[in-house]
């Protein structure tokens, strides 16, 4: 697995930002090892992560061009050729940011990128005139319409704009995985640790959508 800051550096160097026409983590499908089923069988395919659904898509078919969505519940782990890993959490594939072993048990930080639907709907509304031009919009569900996987031809204006996204993080502490919120953090700390955390959070605001803030909490209070 790539170190945390190497992963961040790669993300900063990658100028691709998912758009409604192509709502995937990567601009191009990438070679990946996919571990599936009860036997953890490994298969290899060019793959990508669809951020609306948080699911794996892969290329298959005789023409090696057909894009298919993996059946939910069948994927155990995805390891892309660049070393970045994704595992399922709450039916969404999340990136493994860091993984450690404490007292013989796995501890880790996971990152989930999803679409900020409130901001996206506002974006759709502001572009309504452009989307509706020449189209019978009666009864149309704009969310389904603009988040389709298209062919990169004749895209609507809203389809070409970067998707507004939101970040959620999870911590796996000795086998228990929980979303990073202040309440969840406090539940996993001892009485003395909770006092220390409250003092810490008064000095350094904890932003649960910031990778740097989450990693600081993880290394300070869980990686010990």
Sign of the dihedral defined by the CA atoms of residues 115, 107, 75, 6, in that order: positive
| Residue 155, pLDDT score | 55
**What is the C-alpha separation between 213 and 224, in angstroms, rounded?**
17
Contacts of 34 (CB under 8 A, 6+ apart): 42, 43, 44, 45, 47, 56, 58, 70, 75, 77, 78
- β partners of residue 187: none
Q: Please give the pLDDT value at position 9.
A: 40
The pLDDT, as a whole number, for residue 99 is 95
Low-confidence residues of the chain: pLDDT under 70: 1-14, 61-62, 128-156
The pLDDT of residue 14 is 60
Looking at residue 5, its pLDDT comes to: 44
Helix (H) or strand (E) holding 114: strand 105-115
Q: Is the pTM of this model over 0.85?
A: no
Write down the pLDDT at residue 12: 40
What are the tokens at 96?
């493994």
Task: Confirm if 211 and 169 have CB atoms less than 8 A apart.
Answer: yes
């Amino acid at each position: 697995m790539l170190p945390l800051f190497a992963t961040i550096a790669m993300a900063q160097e990658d100028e691709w930002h998912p758009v409604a026409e192509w709502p995937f983590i990567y601009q191009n499908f990438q070679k990946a090892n996919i571990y599936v089923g009860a036997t953890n069988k490994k298969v290899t395919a060019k793959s990508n992560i669809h951020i609306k659904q948080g699911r794996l898509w892969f290329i298959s078919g005789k023409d090696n061009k057909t894009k298919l969505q993996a059946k939910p519940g069948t994927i155990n782990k995805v390891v892309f050729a660049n070393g970045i890993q994704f595992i399922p959490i709450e039916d969404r594939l999340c990136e493994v940011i860091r993984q450690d072993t404490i007292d013989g048990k796995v501890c880790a930080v996971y990152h989930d990128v999803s679409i900020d639907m409130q901001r996206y709907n506002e974006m759709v509304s502001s572009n309504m005139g452009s989307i509706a031009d020449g189209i019978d919009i009666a009864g149309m569900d704009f969310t389904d319409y603009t988040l389709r996987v298209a062919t990169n031809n004749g895209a609507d204006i809203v389809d070409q704009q970067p998707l507004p996204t939101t970040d959620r993080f999870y911590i796996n502490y000795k086998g228990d995985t929980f979303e990073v919120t202040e309440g969840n953090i406090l539940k996993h700390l001892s009485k003395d640790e909770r006092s220390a955390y409250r003092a810490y959070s008064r000095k350094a605001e904890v932003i649960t959508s910031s990778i740097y803030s989450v990693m600081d909490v993880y290394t300070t209070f869980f990686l010990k």
